[in-house]
Amino acid sequence: MKTFLYFFLFISSFLIAQEHQIYTSLDDALSTPEKVEALDLSNQKLSRVPLGVYQLKNLKTLKLNNNTISYVDSSLLQLKKLEILELSYNKIKALPEKMDKLSHLKTLKLINNQIVEIPQSWLRLPALKNLHLSRNKIEKLPDNINILKSLKKLTLKGNSLWLIPTSFNRLKNLTYVNFSNNQLSQISNGLDHQSLRKLKKLVIKGNPFSSYEKGLIRLKVPKNCKIVW
């Protein structure tokens, strides 16, 4: 009986591993393209997204971190099932227009690139929960940032932010925000402890806040929210 149980557990583990396999070779992935849900081509000295990637119609996770990619064309929008897109540590200035066609996208990571703004099409990503844009060149958030109703985590560390719109306090599902090392002297206008009641951590160190502004920030975040100065 124990032998049968061990065999069953082994087969189950094997099948789960197969189902969640992360491919690190595009050639291997293209041998059975219909089965591929996760592809990681990070650290491969790529200057562009290989065309073969767009043949993987069932792809849910695509990681292309730490390459030298500067341009991503509209072929990306063919990956309709994409849920996680990571393009950190590249040279990207923008993503294709109509990114909102990726209606299942939950996580977008573009850390350490050359992004200067958050486009309107990103705000129309209905499933987006995690947006990571640290170490780019962003100066301000869109006035209608509150459209991102599902957003839970937002990281903008090390940009050139100087303005947070009042609409920020309508991001009711936010749990974590990192605005550290920017040029913010005021954010209290975009905070509200009733609207942002799910906010658990606010990282804002490395900004030129006055003592008065710090006092307002303390008043305007939920009591159980940890502030990292």
Same domain, 121 and 38: yes
For residue 4, the model assigns a pLDDT of 52
Indicate the residue type of 222.
P
Same domain, 16 and 82: yes
- Is 146 within a domain? no
For residue 12, the model assigns a pLDDT of 45
Same domain, 90 and 13: yes
Average confidence score pLDDT of the chain: 93
For residue 13, the model assigns a pLDDT of 43
Give the Cα separation of 179 and 219 in Å (integer).
Answer: 18
For residue 17, the model assigns a pLDDT of 44
Give the Cα separation of 129 and 131 in Å (integer).
Answer: 7
Same domain, 214 and 130: no
For residue 1, the model assigns a pLDDT of 58
Q: What is the average per-residue pLDDT within 79-105?
A: 97
In the predicted structure, residue 68 carries a pLDDT above the cut 60: yes
Give the Cα separation of 156 and 138 in Å (integer).
Answer: 8
For residue range 6-62, list pLDDT tens digits in order: 444 444 444 444 457 999 999 999 999 999 999 999 999 999 999 999 999 999 999
